Amino acid sequence: MLPTFAGSFTFSATRLLLPCCFALALHTGSLASPRAGIYLIEDDSGALHLTDDAQGRNASLVLETDKAATDQRPGQHPAQRHAPAPRDARLAEIVRTAAQAHRLAPELLHAVIAAESGYAVRAVSPRGAQGLMQLMPATARGYGVTDPFDPGQNIHAGARHLRSLLDQFNQNISLALAAYNAGAASVLRHHNRIPPFAETAAYVPRVLRHLAQQQPAAGHPSAPSP
């Protein structure tokens, strides 16, 4: 099942297609002229991939690009204008392997890490969340983490947790992100909607903005390597 979205947010040159009140997957199937944008596709193994080429694919539109804005500098792909700061090669490899192991797009993990800790390995929040993916101690223990500041343990546990939330909320990325921030119980208490907490309401679009900055190169899907 393809990921779906809930909520409504807008920013700069990219519009997030997040219908209000209920999640709606936008499938292109074999449409002759799919919208210009970034799509999520699911392969036969259930792994998620990002691509800007949805022609002939069953895909869910995640981000619709503003052509007028992206054409301002001819020959330059949007990802080049919005590329994230260079990352440590070891962290990038850990993210790649964690994404592959848990059937996630690596860009999604990078977006969560950027929003949660800004790639600060030893980050600690006022509420005690720790490490790159800001795991709460109880969550970390539940996934067998012995050192939350070890990048490998932290990222793999965070990826497992995110995958479990995606499965729990029927592949709805915005609800999974809300649950990652506020807890699954909060999302359930609010009838499978983003809880009306200021922090969570800001967190979901922040992660999606980071995701938008990692658009794949034209015509090439981004996915965990086999």
Total tally of structural domains belonging to the chain: 2
96 lies in the same domain as 112: yes
**Which domain does 23 fall in, by range?**
10-81
User: How far is residue 135's CA from residue 21's CA, in Å, rounded to a whole number?
Assistant: 29
Examine residue 164 and state whether it is found in any structural domain, yes or no.
yes
Res 70: pLDDT = 38
Q: How many helices (H) and strands (E) does the chain have?
A: 9, 5
97 lies in the same domain as 200: yes
Residue of 42, 64, 107, 116 marked catalytic: 116
Examine residue 127 and state whether it is found in any structural domain, yes or no.
yes
Average pLDDT, the chain: 73
The string of pLDDT tens digits covering residues 105-164 is 999 999 999 999 999 999 999 999 999 999 999 999 999 999 999 999 999 999 999 999
- CATH code: domain of residue 179: 1.10.530.10
Res 74: pLDDT = 37
Helix axes 151-168, 173-182, angle to 10 degrees: 120
181 lies in the same domain as 126: yes
Catalytic residue check, 116: yes
Over residues 42-46, mean pLDDT: 65
Closest CA to 99 of 203, 8, 226: 226
Examine residue 224 and state whether it is found in any structural domain, yes or no.
no
Res 88: pLDDT = 82
Res 214: pLDDT = 77
33 lies in the same domain as 74: yes
